[in-house]
Structure 1
């Protein structure tokens, strides 16, 4: 049994604790002009849903001054995401902004902006140890509020802040900025960039959750159980996951499934409570809210609903074998067995477990939906020389799964179908006024040349000539507009650019193709005053902008 316990602990539990499961690994290259990290404690306490008292959150930050004047006068705050155990330090947070041989943080520092990284460490307060990277999103938001107020006091000049929230960091930023506005606190922030953040929830295949939990509980390994409790059952995971195994258990059981609870459901007393609280706050109103996401905008799925993820027999040594089968959640209105495990000793059954899943009539299961993706193999370190793990990875039929659905990353509230192609501005209204949406699904919080260009256009509030990046450049010169639409074109993918204008109901008002000659293009329109959607397609990406006509 020891071999079986050890194998399953390494395979499944380590997959949750590895940082690469949620955030792609970044390089460890050195960073110029570093200072040092400083601790910060929130002034506002927070009491979690299952806590008996309130605690003051803590964080650590480091300021990377610009390389132009070296003065703190134009701060951009970059936040941490889900990081149980604080496995990703400030260096890792900075370097995850790399793209195409460059780094977004380096580029903006060369333009006179200061980067401020806020990390969520493990800390003790009031005699209790708190894992900041997996803690309540609200408590982390109060730490961000403390940092915002500190920076506004310390900075020189009157430039407003920019906040970049990758992954869970986007929820922290949304909560903090909205809370400040609703409580008459000055945030002095002009721009919020949400980066593939789960505004409507995140996903880890429930099939994997069932298996991880069952094996940890069944074999009673204290370390395995601790990891399940500290990661999968952490406050942040229970607040974010739209389908959590705890929402399906029979009363009084840690592992057994209630056959009447097969539809997707979040962790009881956490998921719905958090989403309701976040929805009540809404998005900040005195900030420009934009989003760059990693999920496809045209409905491209990540696999197929109900598909087999893996079905294999593993030789664990010592005459012990295990049959493991995992599947994605099923198509709409269907039920399937998502988890099956059976262990044998010399062919004699030792232990078995299975769990089913049902999808609603409104949508196929979320596992295969369009969205920022995560990979099982990368979470397992490609085997790390362990032959059993290598055999498991080689047996995978499906490595990718949807981690942050496109619908969630765009904060679309009224679309129950995870597979819908977002019609921004129509019935699928998004709170973001500008977006970068790729055509194909990308690894979660991966910065590409295209998304970097989008972020830089928003941060610099100008054309990208300053940044000298060889990336597609499409900039709306003025918004709102009073005359012709003026587009500044730089490098684009094809010889032509297609321009479409739609009203907020989705009705097409203009469809025009122009030559992609670099420079300013003026487009007469004849539109009445109001809000419209401007779509610019260069043959590789589609940029959608909310256009205001005065």
Structure 2
């Protein structure tokens, strides 16, 4: 068995904690100038599901003042996402907002906005070591509450805040803002932008989870075990992952699958409890809630159900090799072997490991669903210089998987991950949704424009509720024409109407000068859901429009 241990050490020692990546920084990213990192401590303690006492969370932040007056008067908070080990620092978070040779944070600072980056670091509190990037979402939310209160106390003037939450940061922001409302704490926040956040859960292929855990468990290597303990078994991962290996283990075993537990199962004591808590909190009601996502809105899949991820033989030395086969979870109601490992010594198998997955009858397996994508090669740090891992990556037939399903990022409670999203079922009032699946939390020119429009519009006016009687869509669902009513008490010299698809594509635009109180706009749009944006030069209003 010595050869087996050597083999597994080779396979696992390169899965170092710092190499795991769930959010890439774009090439040619624009980094900020260095200022000073400050520490902030929550004033509300949180006790996790598996903790015996409550602890006060901590964060670190930097304030990048605007380039207009250099005064903290229009703060925009940008949050950290899932980042166990704190491998993505504050400058990295700033740089992650880069796109096409520009940086959204730089653009906003040039327009008078102040950027506040809030990072979740490693720290010790009350004698407990906490990895903020993988800690309880609730405790990180308490840190955000303290940050919001501090900014509101320190800012000049009465401009309300904007909170941008990428990935897990979107859940932290939602939880914090809703908690503040429920507890009569004024957030003084006008806009919440969720950025590809897992409101209905996240996904890492269960086959990959099994494989990494098996290698770590069989070797007992400290580095590999750290990946399992601090990443897969972090509180945040156990709260977010819709299918988690801990839900499938045989009683008394740390790696073997219980053959009766083949349907998707979250981490016991974490996943269902967190989703129930989040559902009860809902969304903040005194804030404009919008979302920009990376998953396809037209049903484009990431591979296909049951597809082979890898099926290869890895040569370790002249006498030792390993057969590794991984698959996506299967089509609805189907069962397949998702993990299949055989270690051979002189051509004879000396160790085998298999796991099975079944998909529910109402949806195919989530691995191939439309969604913001994760990358297996990224998760393995591109091999980290280890030839066996490099050979494994080169043999991948399917590198990308659905990390944040479209249904989840839109916060639509639909058990079918592959259904066409009905935006009427989403709690958000405005959306950016691409046609094709994009890498998780990737900023594009189109999504950046969406966020910039939302942030800028809020300065000229307040929330959507105060626009609700400014322009009226006389008939919705719309038939052969779009009928827009301008209330008699509204002064409008020019009105521009733009129709967007749910994926953010501009389809029609028309401008009226000195318009009458009722406008008729003929169209040839296909049946479906669209967004109608109305702009009178002073404020904008976006209305969900259904064409029948």
Specify the TM-score bucket, using the shorter chain as the normaliser: 0.7 to 0.9
Look up the match of 1:216.
Answer: 216
Q: Distance in 1 between matches of 2:501 and 2:510?
A: 18
Aligned to 1:174: 174
Q: What CA distance in whole angstroms lies between the structure 2 residues aligned with 1:68 and 1:19?
A: 38
SS of equivalent to 2:57 = strand
* Structure 2 counterpart of 1:470: none
**Alignment partners' CA distance in 2, 1:118 and 1:360:** 39
Q: Distance in 1 between matches of 2:459 and 2:52?
A: 52
Q: CA deviation at 1:103?
A: 0.4
Contact 1:84 1:134 in 2 (8 A): yes
Checking the alignment, whether the CA contact within 8 Å between 1:17 and 1:231 is kept in structure 2 is no
| Residues 1:330 and 1:249: Cα distance change in structure 2 (over 3 Å) | same
- Return the match for 2:431 from 421, 435, 438: 435
| Residue 450, structure 1, aligned to residue 453, structure 2 | no
> Relative to 1, partners in 2 of residues 1:214 and 1:547: Cα closer, same or farther, differing over 3 Å?
closer
Mapping 1:11-22, distance limit 5 Å: 13-14=15-16, 17-20=18-21, 22=22
Shift of the 487–451 alpha-carbon distance from structure 1 to 2, 3 Å rule, reads farther
Compared CA separation, residues 343 and 309, structure 1 to 2 (3 A): same
Q: Deviations over 1:339-359 (max 9, x none)?
A: 001111111222110000000
Residue 8, structure 1, aligned to residue 8, structure 2: no
Paired position in structure 1 for 2:422: 423
Aligned to 1:114: 114
| Cα distance change of structure 1 residues 169 and 500 upon mapping to structure 2, 3 Å threshold | closer
Indicate how the Cα distance of structure 1 residues 34 and 395 shifts in structure 2: closer, same or farther if over 3 A, else same: closer
Q: What is the TM-score of this pair, normalised by structure 1?
A: 0.86
Give the whole-Å Cα distance in 1 for the aligned partners of 2:185 and 2:121.
26
| Partner residue in 1 for 2:476 | none
Residues 453-501 of structure 1: CA distance to partner in whole angstroms, max 9, x if unpaired? 000000000799xxxxxxxxxxxx9764145488747xxxxxxx86789
CA distance, structure 1, for counterparts of residue 403 and residue 343 of structure 2: 29
CA deviation vs aligned residue, 1:360-393 (integer Å, no higher than 9, x gap)? 0000000000000011123334334433222212
Matches within 5 A, 1:185-196: 185-196=185-196
State whether residues 161 and 188 of structure 2, in contact with CA within 8 Å, keep that contact through their aligned partners in structure 1.
yes
Equivalent residues of 2:321, 2:343 under 8 A apart: yes
- Which residues of 2 match residues 348-387 of structure 1 at below 5 A? 348-387=348-387
Alpha-carbon contact 1:533-1:545 (below 8 Å) kept: no
Using the alignment, how far apart are the partners of 1:46 and 1:399 within structure 2?
Answer: 38
Q: CA deviation at 1:215?
A: 1.2
Question: 2:307 maps to what in 1?
Answer: 307
SS at match of 1:289: strand
Q: Deviations over 1:428-451 (max 9, x none)?
A: x11100000000000000000000
Contact 2:292/2:433, CA 8 A, preserved across alignment: yes
For residue 308 of structure 1, report the CA deviation from its aligned partner.
Answer: 0.5
- TM-score by length of structure 2 reads 0.86
User: Which residue in the other structure is 2:481 paired with?
Assistant: none
SS of match in other structure, 1:461: helix
Deviations 1:247-290 (A, max 9, x none): 11111111111111111010000000000011110000000000
**Aligned-pair distance for 1:525?**
4.8
1:224 to partner: Cα distance? 1.4
| 1:168-211 CA distance string (max 9 Å, x none) | 00000000000000000010000000000000000000000011
Distance 1:242 1:513, change over 3 A: closer
Unaligned runs of 5+ in 1: 465-476, 490-496, 502-511, 538-543
Taking structure 1 as reference, are residues 519 and 291 closer, same or farther at Cα in structure 2, changes over 3 Å only? farther
Taking structure 1 as reference, are residues 524 and 365 closer, same or farther at Cα in structure 2, changes over 3 Å only?
A: same
Q: Could you say what secondary structure the match of 2:471 adopts? A: coil
Summarize the Cα distance change of 1:513–1:347 in structure 2 as closer, same or farther, 3 Å threshold: closer
Q: Is the 8 A contact 2:339 2:355 kept in 1?
A: yes
Structure 1 residue 226 displacement after superposition = 2.4
Unaligned runs of 5+ in 2: 461-465, 473-483, 487-493, 523-527, 534-540
State how far apart, in whole Å, the 2-side matches of 1:193 and 1:455 are: 8
- Per the alignment, residue 160 of structure 1 pairs with 160
Q: Does the 8 A contact of 2:340 with 2:353 survive in 1?
A: yes
Alignment RMSD, CA only? 2.8
Matches within 5 A, 1:325-336: 325-336=325-336
| Contact 1:19 1:88 (8 Å CA) reproduced | no
2:263 paired with 1:263: yes
Distance across 1 between alignment mates of 2:512 and 2:453: 16
Partner Cα separation in structure 1 for residue 262 and residue 514 of structure 2: 54
Work out whether 1:343 is the aligned partner of 2:343.
Answer: yes
Q: CA offsets, 1:129-178, max 9 Å, x none?
A: 10000000000000000000000000000000000000000000000000
Paired residues in the alignment total 502
Matched with 1:297 is 297
Taking the aligned partners of 1:276 and 1:443, their CA distance within structure 2 comes to: 28
Tell me: CA distance 1:442–1:519, structure 2 relative to 1, closer, same or farther (3 Å). Answer: farther
> Does the CA-based 8 Å contact 1:330-1:358 persist in structure 2?
yes
Quote the Cα distance in structure 2 between the aligned partners of 1:4 and 1:79. 40
- Structure 2 equivalent of residue 229 of structure 1: 229
| Partners of 1:371 and 1:403 within 8 A in 2 | yes
Aligned partners of 1:201, 1:276: CA distance in 2, in Å?
A: 12
Residues 1:524 and 2:519 are matched in the alignment: yes
**Structure 2 SS opposite 1:317:** coil
Q: Which position in structure 2 is the counterpart of 1:504? A: none
* SS of alignment partner, residue 45 of structure 2: strand
Relative distance call for 1:500 and 1:318 in structure 2 (3 A) is closer
How much has 1:24 moved relative to structure 2? 1.3
Residue 219 of structure 1: CA displacement?
1.4
Closer, same or farther in 2 for the Cα pair 1:28/1:451, shift >3 Å?
closer
Contact kept? 1:27, 1:92, Cα under 8 Å: no
